[in-house]
Amino acid sequence: MAVKTILEEMNESVARAFVAAGYPEAQASVQLSNRPDLCEYQCNGAMAVAKKAGKRPLEVAEAVAAELKKESLFSEVGAVPPGFINLRVSPDALATAVRALREQPQCGAVRDENRKIVVDYGGANVAKPLHVGHLRSAIIGEALKRMGAFFGNEMIGDVHLGDWGLQMGLIIEELRRRKPELPYFDESHTGDYPEEAPFTISELEEIYPTASKRSKEDEAFAEAAHLATVKLQSGDPGFTALWKHILRISKADLKKNYDALAVSFELWKGESDAQPFIPALLEDLEKRGIARSSEGALVVDIAEPGDKKELPPCIVRKSDGAALYATSDLATLIDREATLSPDCYIYIADKRQELHYTQFFRVARKAGIVPPEHELIYIGFGTMNGKDGKPFKTREGGVMRLETLIREIREAVSTRIAENPEISPEEAEKTSKTVALAALKYADLSNQASKDYVFDLERFASFEGNTGPYILYTAVRIKSILKKYANQGGAAITAADLRPAESESEKALFLDLARYPEVLRAAWKELAPHRICQYLYELSNHFNSFYHAVRILQEPDEEKKRAYLALIQTAEIVITYCLGVLGMEVPERM
C-alpha cells in the first residue's frame, strides 16, 4: 500500500484546518513556495474562500493558520497579506515522511497505471545515416517511454522507418546504372536471388545522395527512378529482393547507432507495412463522403468551428494517384488499432510538422479510425542549433552524422576521466561512454521539448553547472563516501538510520527527497522530461551544499554519522531512479 507523501499530508491537514475554522467549502491546496527565504510551502486558498464568505482574505488566513499551529506536521505557520498561509515543515515529520518513502518500492513513485501506449519516435529513413536531426526525437521518445513504463504502463516504441517511396526507386536505378549485370535487373531471371547484398552500408549511404543529385540534373534518370518505384510497389520480384537487402543492411546499421544512444524500439515497422491498408482506406473515405475530390486530388476538410487560424484540407491522394505522408500515417493507425489497440499514441516530431499532425489527427477522428477514448498526442520539438543560432552543422557546413557527434562528445569527456589514476584504461573507456551519453541526453532533455537550444559541446561536457556530467559526478561522489564507510567496517545503512535534520542544508536535502514521487508523477503527466532535469539539478546542488557544510565521515557521533549517510544514500538512490527514467546510467567512478 502506498504511503502518503508530505504534500498529501499537508493538503489533508490544511483541509481539516479550513473546516475547523468554519470554511467547509474550501478548495485549498498547498504548493511549493517560490520564495524559500520566506517559507517552504504556501497555501493561497484563503483568497477564494474570503470572496465567497464576504470576509478579508487575511482574516480567513489567520483563522486557518491558528488551526494549523495545533498540527505537529508544521514547525512554523504564518498568515501574511493579502491572505497567504506560509508553512515550514517540522523536521520530525519530514524525516518520518522520507523514511516511509525510502522503504517503498521506487522510493514511493507508485506503479499504479496500466495503459498500453505507443510511442512513435524514430522516423529515420533507410539507406541514410542517422544525423543530428534525428537526435531529439530519439532522446525525448526514449525518455517518455521509460517514464511511462516506470509507472506501470505497457510502452511500445515504434521506429516507423521511411522505407517506401521514391528514395527506393532512386537507389535501385542508381544501382542498375552501376551494376546492370546484377540478376535483380534481369527480366528472364528465375529461381532465388543472392542472399548477400550487392553493396555494403557505406556504399549504400553513398548511392542515395548521388542518385538524388543525379535526378535533379538528369530528367531521364529521374523518370527511370519513378518507374522503378512503381515497379517495386507493384511487387516486381527482383526489385523486391533488392529492397529487402536495403532494409536488412540499413536496419542493422540504424540499430547500432540507436544502441550507442541507449535507445531501443519494440517495433521496427515502416511505411511499407502501412501500404496494404491504403486502397481500402481511400475507398472508405470516399464512399462515406468524408473525402471529396478537389482538382483531381482526394482531400478531407478538417477545419472546425473555433479554429484560430485557417486550416487547409488534408490531401490523402494526389492528382497523380500517389499517397502522401498523411495517408501512410492514417493507414499505420489502422494497422496499430487492429494489432495493438492502445489507449494512447504519442508522436514525437519536429514542431514544424504541427500542421501535418493536426490534419492527420483530425482525419483519424472524423473517419473513426481511432475511437474517442484512445488519445492522440503530438509533441513538437525545437531545433538543436549551433552557436550561430542556426541548425547545427559540421565545420564544413554539412549535416553532422550522429556517430560523429557521439564520438566528439566522448573525446571531450575522456580527457577528464583519464585524470583519475585509479581508473584503468578499459574502465576509463567504458566510463567515458556513459558520461558522454549523459552529457548529450541531459543537454537535450533539460530544455523544454518545444524550445530550440544551442549545442555547446564544451559546456555540456563540463563537470560543473547544470550538465549531465555534474549530476553523475554528484551520484558518484555519494557512492564513494558510502564505499569508504563500508571499507572502514561500517554496518549497512538503512532507512531506519534517518534522523530529523539539524541544519538548513540538511533540511533542504530532506525537502527535495520528500517531493521526489510528485516530481516524477507531474513530469510524466505533463510529458515533460525537463521537469526531472530541473529537480535533479536542485537535488544535486543541495547535496553538494550539505557535503561542503558537514564533515560526514569525520562526524564523531556514530548515530549522527549514520543519519547523514542514510540521507545521502537516499539522495543517490533517487538520482539513480531519475537518471534511469531519462535513459542514463551512473558509473562506479569518474
Number of neighbours of residue 221 by Cβ within 10 angstroms: 17
DSSP string, 436-454: HHHHHHHHHHTS-TTS-EE
- Which residues lie below 8 Å from residue 219, measured CB to CB, with a gap of 6+? none
Separation in Å, CA 366 to CA 276, 304, 399: 21, 11, 39
According to DSSP, the β-strands at 116-120 and 84-89 are unpaired
What are the distances in angstroms from CA 532 to CA 84, 150, 177, 283?
Answer: 28, 13, 53, 46
pLDDT in tens, 349-396: 999 999 999 999 999 999 999 999 999 999 999 999 988 888 887 666
Among 120-129, 139-148, 173-182, which is the least confidently predicted range?
Answer: 120-129
For the chain, residues classed under CATH 3.30.1360.70 are: 6-89
For residue 576, which of 435, 451, 471 has the smallest C-alpha distance?
Answer: 471
Grid look-up 583519464 returns 418
* pLDDT > 90: percent of the chain: 88
pTM of the model: 0.94
Query: Residue 449 in contact with residue 435, Cβ under 8 Å?
Result: no
Q: Decide if 459 contacts 465 (C-beta within 8 A).
A: yes
In SS3 terms, 36-85 reads as CCCCCEEECHHHHHHHHHCCCHHHHHHHHHHHHCCCCCEEEEEEECCCEE
- Tell me whether strands 384-385 and 453-454 are parallel, antiparallel or unpaired: parallel
Q: Which cell numbers hold the place of 221?
A: 534518370
Backbone φ, ψ for residue 75 (5° rounding): -95, -20
Confidence of residue 419 (pLDDT cuts 50, 70, 90): confident
- DSSP-assigned beta bridge partners for residue 87: 41, 77
Which residues lie closer than 8 Å to 492 by C-beta, 6 or more apart?
Answer: 486
Residue 133: which pLDDT band, with cuts at 50, 70 and 90?
Answer: confident
CATH of 6-89, one of 3.40.50.10490, 3.30.1360.70, 3.40.720.10, 1.10.286.10: 3.30.1360.70
Give the three-class secondary structure for 9: helix
Count of Cβ atoms closer than 10 Å to residue 100 Cβ: 18
Q: What is the pLDDT of residues 431-472, one digit of tens each?
A: 999 999 999 999 999 999 999 999 898 999 999 999 999 999
DSSP-derived secondary structure letter, 285? H
What is the structure's pLDDT at 26?
73
Instruction: Tell how far CA 491 is from the center of its chain.
Output: 39
Go through 262-275 and write b for each residue having 16 or more CB atoms within 10 A of its CB, e for each that does not.
bbebebbbbbbbbb
Question: Residue 562: how many CB atoms within 10 A of its CB?
Answer: 21
pLDDT of 122 > 90? The answer is: no
Is the predicted pLDDT of residue 251 greater than 60, yes or no?
yes
pLDDT score at 420: 87
